[in-house]
Amino acid sequence: MNTADSPLISVIIPAYNAATFIERTLISVLTQTYQNLEIIVVDDGSQDETVAIVQHYAQQDDRLLLLQQENAGVAAARNFGIRASKGEFIAPIDADDIWYPENLEKQVNCAIAGGKKVGLVYSWSVDIDQNDETIGGFRASDVEGDVYKTLVCHNFLGNASASLIRRSCLNKVGYYDSNLKAQNAQGCEDWDLYLRIANIADYAVVPEFLVGYRKLRNSMSRNYDTMKRSHDLVMAAVSESRPHLPNFLYSISRSNLYTYFAHQSASSADWDNTLFWVKKAVQAHGLLSLIRIGTYRLLLSAFLASFRSPNPPISEAIAPTQNLTLKQIKQQKSKLFLMLFVGNIFHQTIDRLSGWAIASHQAKKLRLANLLK
C-alpha cells in the first residue's frame, strides 16, 4: 500500500512510570511496515525516566509526539491522546507491550477489505516476559461479524494492545470511560469500549500472532476486587442498553472472569485465592465451571500444594513456564485448532440460545398483551 493512498493511523500510548519497557514499545511501533502513522505518547504524571526516553525518540522521528498530564489514569490518558489525534484509525498499545512488524499493515488492510461496517479489527497475541521472550501463553479467536453476545461472555481480544479501531465508531460510542477510576473500579475499560463498538459495528480478525502482551512472572499484586467492581458496572451498562439480553449471558461472564482470577492466583501460588475464585466461578455458573478441564487442574494444583512447604520462596512458588519461540507457538497447531474450534462452537451456541431466549420472551409479552386486551 502506497503511503499517499494509505489512511493515517493514530497510535495512542498511555505511559505511567513506564521507563523499563517504553523504549521497546516505541521501537516496535516505529519499525512497523506500515509507515503512515502519528504516534502519541501521553505521559500520565510519571516520576521516572519515561519522559526523557520518549523525548529522545521524538527528536529522531517527527511522527512521535509527547503529551503530558497530571496523573489521571489510563482511560483519561488514552482519551487525551485520541482527542489530540487526526487518524482515520486509532491503534492503542500499552507502554509495556510490543507489536510485531506487520501488525498495523495487516490490520488496516483487513479493515479496508471489510468496509465501513467493520468498526474494529483485532490480532492474536502471545504472552512475553521481561526480555520480550514468548512464554507459551497466547490468545486466539476467529470470531467475526456481530460478536456482541459472545463479547458479553468474555473479552476474547484479551488485552488493550490488540485492536485497530475506526475513528467514526469512537465518535459515535464515545471514548474510554474514565469514570471507572473515580469509582475505584478500574480494569475493564477496554472491555467496556469493545462492547459499545460491537453494539453498532462488526468485528474482523487478522488470524496471526502479531502482538506481544507483557506478562511478568513476578507480578504478585493484583486487585481482583477492583476489577470485579469494574466488571459489575460494565455489565450493568450492558443490561441497561440491551434490556432483553438473557440473564445466563451475565452468569457466564462472571464465571469466566472468576476463572481468570483463579488462574492468575494459581500462577502466583496463591492457593487460598485460587480456591476462593474457583468457588465463585462455580456459584456464578456451575455447569460451565464443571465442564472446564481447567477447573479440575486448578483444584488438583491447590490440593497438591497443600502438601508442600507453606511459604516457599517466590522463585519456587511460581510455576515454571516454558519459554517458546514465536515459531514454536505457531506450530502448536492442535492446541490452536482446539481453541478456535471451541471458540466458534461457543459463539454459535451463545448466539442461538440468546436468539431463542429473546424470541421466547417477546412471544410471552405478546401473548400477555393479547390477554389483557
Interval 274-295: pLDDT, tens? 999 999 999 999 888 888 888 9
Q: Are residues 317 and 181 in the same domain?
A: no
The pLDDT tens digits of the residues spanning 160-212 come to: 999 999 999 999 999 999 999 999 999 999 999 999 999 999 999 999 999 99
pLDDT attached to residue 287: 86
pLDDT-derived band at 137, boundaries 50, 70, 90: confident
In a domain, 219, yes or no: no
The whole domain housing 255 covers: 246-330
State the total domains in the chain.
3
Asked if pLDDT for residue 319 goes beyond 50, the answer is: no
Q: Which of 116, 8, 18 is nearest to 71 (CA)?
A: 18
Q: Are residues 195 and 289 in the same domain?
A: no
pLDDT-derived band at 369, boundaries 50, 70, 90: low
User: Could you tell me if 187 and 237 are in contact, meaning their C-beta atoms sit under 8 angstroms apart?
Assistant: no
In a domain, 220, yes or no: no
Biggest CA–CA distance in the chain, Å, is: 74
Instruction: Return the exposure string of 249-275: e unless at least 16 CB atoms fall within 10 Å of the residue's CB, then b.
Output: bbbbbbbbbbbbbbbbbbbbbbbebbb
In a domain, 227, yes or no: no
Mean pLDDT, rounded, for 57-72? 97
Q: Are residues 172 and 316 in the same domain?
A: no
Of the listed ranges 168-177, 242-251, 354-363, 364-373, the one predicted with least confidence: 364-373
